Structure 1
């Protein structure tokens, strides 16, 4: 259990840092126009909100610290 907490904490910490430093984004595809079987789509790159990265850093740090300081 201790090792699992440490690993999950480090992964969340790393993902949070990745988002905060501006590398976290995802693609969203929208249908712009559709007429019968003719379809026009647009793909947009959207950034993951910075608050989500900060939350990942805080939760990941707490999990890793809790795993390191647990007695078992």
Structure 2
């Protein structure tokens, strides 16, 4: 299965990382239909595993200045 990076609904400051609570910049949609939210740090830390299980990855980490 391949993982695609897609355009989806924009993440806002209210969206928080499921791992640490920081602002989320990455939304990962799983085959179950559930979404996981990650800050840029944790999305990079878990990128290899996330690519294996994700249906879609919405990445807005380029917004970080």
TM-score with structure 2 length normalisation?
A: 0.26
Larger RCO (CA within 8 A; separation ≥ 6): 1
Greater Cα radius of gyration, structure 1 or 2: 1
Q: Which structure shows the bigger proportion of residues in helix conformation?
A: 1
